[in-house]
Structure 1
């Protein structure tokens, strides 16, 4: 999958990515034909993957205190500007995957900060990707007040319909203050991409093993009990397939009936479940490999988030920490979703430019 350079030339759009993380949204925007000049985040560990894989600067800044003038400077000489971001929302996610949650802060303060910057910067285009629950919160109404004068469209998308190999629902808003063409998110149905197509060619590993050529292709160790459990697990099955001696204490409670996916294996010929920040752990959901006796690796999780296999997440020689890297990958915007957003804007701006070139009718 290569960046669409032709559409980028026809409709030059320059973007700044707030809450950029490791660059999932940025990488997708670039592939869809948008030029990203900078990503902004408070997590310094995101600098290496963001800059290594994207021709853009990483700025270690807190969006809550970021001045509009700093973003305007990044947009200097741009033809069409886009302010993009996935503003993390507590309690559904954590600000830039760093685990900082202070009780005195509003759970939705970062969305409000995003809205403030939209109002002060007045970019030509805006996109916000988020959890579906944001639409029901008062902060969303406040965010919309900062889009006065913009054409605004939003929807909740099922990512598997976009060719993303996981079931994941995300809220996407797009807005434009350009005169002319309508703006809407066009969800083109794609044949579901399966777990098999995404990760089957990676080297086989046992629990606790790592690929010498890829530091991210590393699997968590499993206890003897969990090894017995995964060997008793069927792809797409549940812990009810196990003999009683293997069942956990929570499974023996009535409430345990509501967690059939815990300790489950994925299915080869279906999309994966939603990648979470704990997707590297066998006991955290249906994150067992379809046939190998282990949980999926961090690389497999990243590929199910549609990051390219070659995407570099850690510097050479840097130790891979499961909890930290799982948080970065699980909280990332799927690259393919970023590409769909970029394509929406490129069509929108291209249509405006085409109408302008034809002149009045």
Structure 2
């Protein structure tokens, strides 16, 4: 069934778009103000990248992407930094990203799509701007489903928890049932067969399969790290000064190794750095490579993030860590397709009976 056209706001490198397209939802265009994402978005997806701040986009502009007679889906994942637990206790009311959810809400009102989806960090629900977003949807006649989703239950090899919202004017809507309840995909299943690397090395056949360098001190540290363990088991002379303080003892997962037999931790924009979380390779003495991080975010093995051989850990790490996991995008797409099929079929039956 191919009857849904979508536009992806805050599209980044195309994780949500790729997932929706896997589910045969035809994404026509993406919008994002990060020009670094243009190549990745357009090279891997048959959709147009528009480098533009969503606050400056109009509903009239978006309507041009939808074909006549198609069900319209407006999708978006507004930048989550203001809603992150890392910002709790900090005044974020002046953060320029706060108005972006309001911009999304304005575009929904102007476009009036039959379907809307939004993905964000779970703590987005603690903020008034989110409550206003949901209230505006309901005022416009949308049925709304919104819950915290454990991505491992849907086949993502990562302990990522996200808030997913689905809204429809066709009738009640919900996410499909978990596909991997109790049978989680592990790190080894996803990255276990990639060529081994040392710290600072790269695979000659895949420019993205490269690992960041390690200082002599961090090389000693990772050699003393066990999968799933913490820096607390290191020899005392290797423990960082900040972790010797009482305040530092609450960060046990930094400088950690992943476990082969479990899903990975949540990928962040700094997932290529050993000291930034539990991003040490389960067996090799290095942090995970950019390709491994992308695979754990469920990007295809041939997904390209930059043109040519130019590789920037910072830029690509940001694209990978900020992305909606492709698998989650696919689950959202499958849920929307099932919903549209159910309600269009019901409408067809009702029409025939009348």
TM-score range normalised by the length of the shorter chain: over 0.9
Q: Give the Å deviation of 1:257.
A: 1.9
Q: Following the alignment from structure 1 to structure 2, what is the Cα–Cα distance between the partners of residues 298 and 67?
A: 35
- Which stretch shows the higher mean deviation, 290-299 or 307-316? 307-316
Query: In the alignment, what sits opposite 2:272?
Result: 280
SS of equivalent residue, structure 1 residue 134: helix
Q: Give the Å deviation of 1:76.
A: 3.5
Q: Following the alignment from structure 2 to structure 1, what is the Cα–Cα distance between the partners of residues 124 and 83?
A: 10
Where in structure 2 are the equivalents of 1:211-360 lying within 5 Å? 211-317=203-309, 319-359=310-350, 360=353
The gaps in structure 2 that reach 5 residues or longer are 85-91
SS of equivalent residue, structure 2 residue 261: coil
Q: Give the Å deviation of 1:105.
A: 4.6
Q: Give the Å deviation of 1:107.
A: 4.2
Given the alignment, which residue of 106, 120, 129 partners 1:139?
A: 129
SS of equivalent residue, structure 1 residue 303: helix
Query: In the alignment, what sits opposite 1:49?
Result: 40
Q: Following the alignment from structure 1 to structure 2, what is the Cα–Cα distance between the partners of residues 149 and 90?
A: 29
Query: In the alignment, what sits opposite 2:145?
Result: 153
* CA root-mean-square deviation: 1.5
Query: In the alignment, what sits opposite 2:117?
Result: 127
Q: Following the alignment from structure 2 to structure 1, what is the Cα–Cα distance between the partners of residues 30 and 4?
A: 15
**Cα deviation 1:208-261 (Å, max 9, x = unaligned):** 001111111110000001000000111111111211011111221112221111
Contact 1:90/1:108, CA 8 A, preserved across alignment: no
Contact 1:39/1:59, CA 8 A, preserved across alignment: yes
- Which stretch shows the higher mean deviation, 221-230 or 182-191? 182-191
SS of equivalent residue, structure 1 residue 128: strand
Q: Give the Å deviation of 1:311.
A: 0.6
Q: Following the alignment from structure 1 to structure 2, what is the Cα–Cα distance between the partners of residues 184 and 106?
A: 32
- Which stretch shows the higher mean deviation, 213-222 or 142-151? 142-151
Q: Following the alignment from structure 2 to structure 1, what is the Cα–Cα distance between the partners of residues 45 and 307?
A: 15
Contact 1:289/1:296, CA 8 A, preserved across alignment: yes
The gaps in structure 1 that reach 5 residues or longer are 1-7, 94-101
Q: Following the alignment from structure 1 to structure 2, what is the Cα–Cα distance between the partners of residues 104 and 301?
A: 32
Q: TM-score when scaled to structure 1?
A: 0.91
Contact 1:13/1:78, CA 8 A, preserved across alignment: no
Given the alignment, which residue of 7, 26, 31 partners 1:16?
A: 7
Given the alignment, which residue of 102, 106, 109 partners 1:116?
A: 106
Query: In the alignment, what sits opposite 1:3?
Result: none
Q: Give the Å deviation of 1:104.
A: 5.0
Contact 1:111/1:139, CA 8 A, preserved across alignment: yes
Q: Give the Å deviation of 1:78.
A: 4.5
Q: Following the alignment from structure 2 to structure 1, what is the Cα–Cα distance between the partners of residues 314 and 307?
A: 17
Q: TM-score when scaled to structure 2?
A: 0.93
1:72 aligns with 2:83: no
Q: Give the Å deviation of 1:131.
A: 1.1
Q: Give the Å deviation of 1:186.
A: 2.5
SS of equivalent residue, structure 2 residue 156: coil
**Cα deviation 1:256-298 (Å, max 9, x = unaligned):** 2211111110000000000011110000110000000000001
- Which stretch shows the higher mean deviation, 281-290 or 74-83? 74-83
List structure 1 runs of 4+ shifted beyond 4 angstroms: 102-107
SS of equivalent residue, structure 1 residue 152: strand
SS of equivalent residue, structure 1 residue 173: strand
Q: Give the Å deviation of 1:175.
A: 0.5
**Cα deviation 1:81-136 (Å, max 9, x = unaligned):** 0000101133357xxxxxxxx99554421111000000111011000001111111
**Cα deviation 1:139-167 (Å, max 9, x = unaligned):** 11221233121111100101111110111
Where in structure 2 are the equivalents of 1:77-92 lying within 5 Å? 77-92=68-83
Aligned pairs, how many?
A: 341
SS of equivalent residue, structure 1 residue 217: strand
